Amino acid sequence: MSVAGQTSPSTMTATPAPAVVIDGLHKQFGALTALRAVSATIHTGRLTGLVGPDGAGKTTLLRILAGLLTPSTGRASVAGLDVVVDNDAIHHATGYMPQRFGLYEDLSVLENMRLYARLRGLDTTRNADLFAELLEFTRLAPFTARLAGKLSGGMKQKLGLACALMARPKVLLLDEPGVGVDPVSRQDLWRMVQALTDDGMAVVWSTAYLDEAERCDSVLLLHEGRLLFDGPPQRLTAQLRERSFRLENVGAGRRALLTAALDLDSVSDGVIQGAGVRVVLRAGAASNDIRALAAQARVELAAVPARFEDAFIDLLGGGPGGTSALAERLPPVELDSPSAVSCRDLTKRFGDFTATDRVSFEVRQGEIFGLLGPNGAGKSTTFKMLCGLLKPSSGQAQVAGHDLRHATGAAKSRLGYMAQKFSLYGLLSVRQNLEFAAGVYGLDGATRRGRIEDMIDTFDLGPWLAAAPDALPLGHKQRLALACALMHRPPVLFLDEPTSGVDPITRREFWTHINGLSRRGVTIMVTTHFMDEAEYCDRVAMLYRARLIALDTPDQLKRRAIDSARPDPTMEDAFIHLVEAADLQLAAA
Amino acid sequence: MRRLPSSLSFTRLHAQFIKEVLSILRDPRSRMIVFAPPLLQLVVFAFAATLEVRNVDVAVYDQDAGRWSHELVQRLHSARFIAQVRVVDNPAQVRDLLDRGKVIAALAIPADFSRTIAAGGTAHVQVLVDGRRSNSGQITVGYLASIAAELGAQADTDGAAASPAVVVRHWFNPNLTYRWFIVPGLTGILALFSALLITSLSIARERELGTFDQLLVSPTSTLEIIVSKSLPALAIGTLLGLLMVAAATGPFGIPFSGSFVLLLASLVLFILSAVGIGLMISAVSMTQQQAILGAFAIGVPAVLMSGFATPVENMPLALQWAAQAIPLTHFLIIVEGSFLKAMSAGDVLGNLWPLALIAIATLSMAAMFVRGRLQ
Mean pLDDT for chain A overall: 84
Q: Which residues of chain B make contact with A441, given a CB cutoff of 8 A?
A: 12, 218-219
Q: Mapped to the 3 state alphabet, what secondary structure does B30-47 carry? A: HHHHHHHHHHHHHHHHHH
A345 touches chain B (CB under 8 A): no
pLDDT category at B49 given cuts 50, 70, 90 is: low
The angle, 0 to 180 degrees and rounded to 10, between the axes of the packed helices A504-519 and A474-486 is 20
| CB-CB neighbours of B1 under 10 Å | 10
Most confident range (mean pLDDT) of A484-498, A568-582, B124-138 is A484-498
Smallest CA–CA distance, residue B24 to chain A, in Å, is 9
What pLDDT, in 10s, does the model give residues A554-581? Answer: 888 888 888 888 887 888 888 888 888 8
A390 and B CB contact within 8 Å:
yes
Strand bridging mode B105-109 / A73-78: unpaired
> In A404-453, which ranges are E strands?
415-418
Q: What is the pLDDT of residue A185?
A: 77
In the three-class reduction of DSSP (H, G, I as helix; E, B as strand; rest coil), residue B268 is classed as helix
Residue to test with chain A: of B16, B18, B25, B217, most A Cβ within 10 A: B217
β pairing state of B105-109 and B56-62: parallel
Across the interface, whether the CB atoms of A439 and B18 are under 8 A apart is answered yes
Q: With an 8 Å Cβ cutoff, are B16 and A432 in contact?
A: no
Predicted pLDDT of residue A11: 43
pLDDT class of B165 with cuts at 50, 70, 90: very low
Chain B residues touching A421 at Cβ < 8 A:
209-210
B162, pLDDT greater than 80:
no
DSSP A202-245: EEEEEES-HHHHTTSSEEEEEETTEEEEEE-HHHHHHTTTTTEE
Where exactly are the structural domains of chain B?
Answer: 10-49+177-374, 56-158
pLDDT at A361 over 90: yes
Say if residue A5's pLDDT is above 60.
Answer: no
User: Per-residue pLDDT for A16 more than 50?
Assistant: yes
In chain B, what residues touch A438 (CB-CB under 8 Å)? 15
Q: What is the reported pLDDT for A432?
A: 92
| Nearest CA-CA distance, residue B267 and chain A, Å | 30
Q: Are B127 and B141 in contact (CB under 8 A)?
A: yes
Interface contact B217-A494, CB threshold 8 A: yes
- The DSSP element (H or E) to which A27 belongs, if any, is strand A20-29
Contact between A402 and A386 (Cβ < 8 Å): no
**B296-311 in b/e burial notation, b at 16+ Cβ within 10 A?**
eebbeebbebbbbeee
Asked if B31 reaches chain A (Cβ–Cβ under 8 Å), the answer is: no
Q: Does the beta carbon of A385 lie under 8 angstroms from any beta carbon of chain B?
A: no
Please give the Cα distance from A134 to A168 (Å, whole number).
Answer: 11
Compute the average pLDDT of residues B131-155: 78
Where residue B274 falls among pLDDT bands split at 50, 70, 90?
very high
Q: Closest chain A residue to B8 measured between Cα atoms?
A: A442
Residue A177, pLDDT above cutoff 50: yes
CB A64 within 8 A of CB A70: yes
Least confident of A480-484, A528-532, B209-213: A528-532
Determine the Cα–Cα distance for residues B181 and B307; give it in Å rounded to an integer.
12
DSSP-derived letter for residue A108 is B
Q: How far apart are CA A201 and CA A92, in angstroms?
A: 14
Res. B4: pLDDT tops 50: no
Cα angle at B72 between B70 and B74, to 5 degrees?
70
- Residue A410 dihedral angles phi and psi, to the nearest 5°: -65, -40
Q: Which residues of A touch B220 (CB under 8 A)?
A: 440
Q: Which residue of B has its CA nearest to A451?
A: B1
CB pairs under 8 A between A and B: 99
Q: Which residue of A has its CA nearest to B26?
A: A427
What's chain A's length in residues? 589
Residues of B in contact with A444 (CB under 8 A): 2, 11
B140 at A interface, C-beta within 8 A: no
Give yes or no for a contact between A166 and A113, defined as CB atoms under 8 angstroms apart: yes
Which pLDDT band, with edges at 50, 70 and 90, does A430 fall under? very high
Model confidence at B32, in pLDDT bands (50, 70, 90)? Answer: confident
pLDDT for the residue numbered B81: 79
The angle formed by the CA atoms of residues A483, A484 and A485, to the nearest 5 degrees, is 90
Strand order in the sheet with A267-273: A267-273, A276-281, A244-247, A301-303
Residues of A in contact with B34 (CB under 8 A): none
CA angle B119, B125, B129 (to 5 degrees): 175
User: Which residues of A fall within a CB distance of 8 Å from B21?
Assistant: none
Interface mutation target, options A334, A427, A430, A487, chain B, most CBs of B under 10 Å: A427
The residues, any chain, with a CB within 8 Å of residue A262's CB and separated by 6 or more, are A269, A270, A279, A319, A320, A321, A322, A323, A512
Q: Do B210 and A412 touch (CB under 8 A)?
A: no
The verdict on a CB contact (< 8 Å) between B213 and A423 is yes
Phi, psi torsion values for A237, nearest 5 degrees:
-70, -25
Residues A528 and A572: beta-carbon distance below 8 Å: no
CA distance A355 to A546: 5
**Chain B residue at shortest CA distance from A418:** B214
CA of B11: how far to CAs of A64, B4, B371, in Å? 51, 10, 21
Asked if A391 and A385 count as a contact pair (C-beta separation under 8 A), the reply is: yes
Nearest CA to CA, how far is A409 from chain B (Å)?
Answer: 5
Burial class for A328, CB neighbours closer than 10 Å (0-12, 13-18, 19+):
exposed
Question: Pick from B2, B19, B209: which is nearest to A442 by CB?
Answer: B2
CA-based nearest distance B23→chain A, Å: 6
Grouping H, G, I as helix, E, B as strand and the rest as coil, residue B7 is coil
**DSSP for B189-232, written as a single string:** HHHHHHHHHHHHHHHHHHHHHTHHHHHHHSS--HHHHHHHHHHH
pLDDT tens string A517-540: 888 889 999 988 777 778 889 999
What CA–CA distances, in Å, run from A70 to A20, A59, A419? 16, 13, 35
The rounded distance, in Å, linking the Cα atoms of A246 and A278 is: 4
Q: What is the pLDDT of residues B76-96, one digit of tens each?
A: 888 877 888 888 888 888 888
What is the three-state SS of B158-175? HCCCCCCCCCCCCCCCCC
Is A409 an 8 Å CB contact of chain B?
yes
Partner B contacted by A488 (CB < 8 A):
yes
Interface test with A, best of B2, B10, B11 (most A CBs within 10 A): B11
Smallest CA–CA distance, residue A431 to chain B, in Å, is 12
Look at B18 and A494 and tell me if their CB atoms are within 8 Å: no
* Residues of B with Cβ-Cβ distance to A410 under 8 angstroms: 6, 219
Q: Is A501 left (phi over 0), alpha (psi -120 to 50) or beta?
A: left
Q: Do A389 and B18 touch (CB under 8 A)?
A: no
Residues of A in contact with B23 (CB under 8 A): 425, 427-428
Which residue among A387, A421, A439 sits closest to B15, beta carbon to beta carbon? A439
Residues A490, A480: Cα–Cα separation, whole Å: 16
CA nearest to A409 within chain B: B219
Alpha-carbon Rg of chain B, whole angstroms? 28
Which CATH topology does B56-158 take?
A: abc type-2 transporter like fold (3.40.1710)
A91: β partners: none
pLDDT at B171 over 90: no
Q: In this structure, what are the phi and psi dihedrals at residue A99, rounded to the nearest 5 degrees?
A: -55, -45
Q: Measuring CA to CA, how many Å separate A130 from each of A91, A165, A167, A409, B225?
A: 19, 10, 10, 60, 57
Could you tell me the pLDDT band of residue B1, with boundaries at 50, 70 and 90?
very low
For the residues B271-277, what does the mean pLDDT come to? 92
Strand order, beta sheet including A226-231: A94-97, A171-174, A202-207, A47-51, A218-223, A226-231
Q: Does B223 touch chain A (CB under 8 A)?
A: no
CB contacts, 8 Å: A412 with chain B = 217-219
Q: Report the relative pairing of strands A339-350 and A394-399 from DSSP bridges.
A: antiparallel
CB-closest option in B16, B219, B375 to A409: B219
Pick from A424, A444, A494: which is nearest to B11 by CB?
A: A444
The complex's ipTM works out to 0.74
Q: Do B12 and A447 make contact, defined as CB atoms within 8 angstroms?
A: no
Nearest partner of A428 among B206, B237, B256, B372, judged by Cα:
B206
Say yes or no for a CB contact (<8 Å) between B217 and A444: no
Predicted confidence (pLDDT) per residue in B298-352, tens digit = 988 888 888 787 777 777 888 888 888 888 888 888 888 888 777 777 777 888 8
State residue B175's pLDDT score. 60
Return the H-helix or E-strand segment holding A318: none
- Whole-number Å distance between alpha carbons of A482 and A493: 10
- Supply the pLDDT for residue A10: 42
Strand partners, B141: none
| C-alpha span between A387 and A494 (Å, rounded) | 7
- Inter-chain residue contact B221 with A409, CB threshold 8 Å: yes
- B3 CB within 8 Å of a chain A CB: no
Among residues of chain B, what percentage have pLDDT more than 90? 7
For residue A498, is pLDDT > 60? yes
**Res B371 pLDDT > 70:** yes
CB A578 within 8 A of CB A561: yes
Question: φ, ψ for residue A120 (rounded to 5)?
Answer: -85, 5
**Is A443:A487 a contact under the CB 8 Å cutoff?**
yes
Residues in chain B within 8 Å Cβ distance of A415: 217
b/e A338-354 (16+ beta carbons within 10 angstroms → b)? ebbbbbeebbbeeeeeb
Contact flag A423-B210 (C-beta cutoff 8 Å): yes
User: Looking at the complex, does the CB of residue A302 fall below 8 Å from at least one CB of chain B?
Assistant: no
